[in-house]
């Protein structure tokens, strides 16, 4: 068995990249979705079951605690058990490393496509047994492995390297989605 840890980093910089309240709220929502919706959809893609995610927090909480919908891994009903799924962080118990790699790949790819300024990393550690001591040791190891991944993977600032002539978004400073155009002597932006 293996532990899988997914976690966002640089949350404050991502959420408060602008002084626009609407964009702050949207960025906060994306941070929440990485640990919940995207992770639980990745789990569903592995198990073939319906996703545990629900927009209603109480239903989501009930789904995660349900032994029928999220059975313990030792029962052998599913290949993944969700231990924790919260804003910007998820901890999963998986049968094999390939399943963990698939989930990490799915979540990081979706985050890159849908929220490119948000950084998410994932790590896997082997769990020697299911005693409480083994679980504590596995959690420590997966956190150490995640720190190694964070150290090796370039950050968001390096992801958006560009020459000075590339237009920036008017509010976030990230690369613009479209170039500004000029009409009647005034500059209007589609971003």
Q: What CATH code is assigned to 2-159?
A: 3.30.70
Question: How high is the pLDDT of residue 10?
Answer: 82
Average pLDDT across the chain, whole number:
82
Domain spans, the chain: 2-159, 163-191
β-sheet with 119-126: strand ranges across: 80-86, 89-94, 2-9, 119-126
CA gap 78, 73 in Å, rounded: 6
Question: How high is the pLDDT of residue 166?
Answer: 64
Token pair 């082997």: residue: 126
- CB-CB contact of 45 with 80 (8 Å): no
Summarised one tens digit per residue, pLDDT across range 80-105 is 999 999 998 999 999 999 999 999 99
E-state strands within the chain: 2-9, 80-86, 89-94, 119-126, 181-183, 186-188
Strand partners, 181: 188
Question: How high is the pLDDT of residue 184?
Answer: 41
Residue 36 has pLDDT above 60, yes or no: yes
Confidence class for position 175, pLDDT limits 50, 70, 90: low
Residue 138 has pLDDT above 90, yes or no: no
DSSP state of 136: H
Looking at the chain, the whole-number percentage of residues with pLDDT higher than 90 is 32
Question: How high is the pLDDT of residue 189?
Answer: 42
The more confidently predicted of residues 157 and 7 is: 7
Residue 170 has pLDDT above 50, yes or no: yes
Sign for the pseudo-dihedral over CA of 89, 95, 100, 102: negative
- CB-CB contact of 134 with 127 (8 Å): yes
Strand partners, 86: 89
């Amino acid at each position: 068995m293996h532990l899988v840890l997914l976690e966002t980093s640089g949350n404050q910089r991502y959420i408060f990249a602008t002084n626009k309240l609407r964009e702050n709220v949207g960025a906060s929502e994306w941070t929440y979705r990485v640990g919940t919706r995207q992770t639980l959809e990745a789990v569903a893609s592995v198990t073939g079951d319906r996703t545990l995610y629900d927009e209603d927090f109480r239903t989501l909480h009930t789904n995660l605690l349900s032994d029928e919908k999220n059975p313990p891994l030792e029962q052998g009903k599913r290949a993944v058990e969700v231990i924790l799924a919260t804003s910007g962080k998820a901890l999963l118990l998986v049968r094999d490393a390939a399943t963990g790699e698939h989930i990490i790949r799915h979540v990081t790819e979706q985050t890159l496509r849908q929220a490119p300024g948000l950084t998410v990393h994932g790590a896997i550690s082997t769990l020697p047994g299911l005693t409480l001591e083994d679980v504590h040791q596995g959690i420590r190891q997966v956190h150490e492995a995640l720190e190694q991944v964070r150290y090796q993977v370039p950050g968001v600032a390096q992801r958006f390297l560009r020459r000075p002539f590339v237009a920036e978004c008017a509010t976030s400073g990230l690369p613009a989605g479209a170039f500004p155009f000029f009409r009647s002597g005034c500059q209007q932006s589609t971003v």
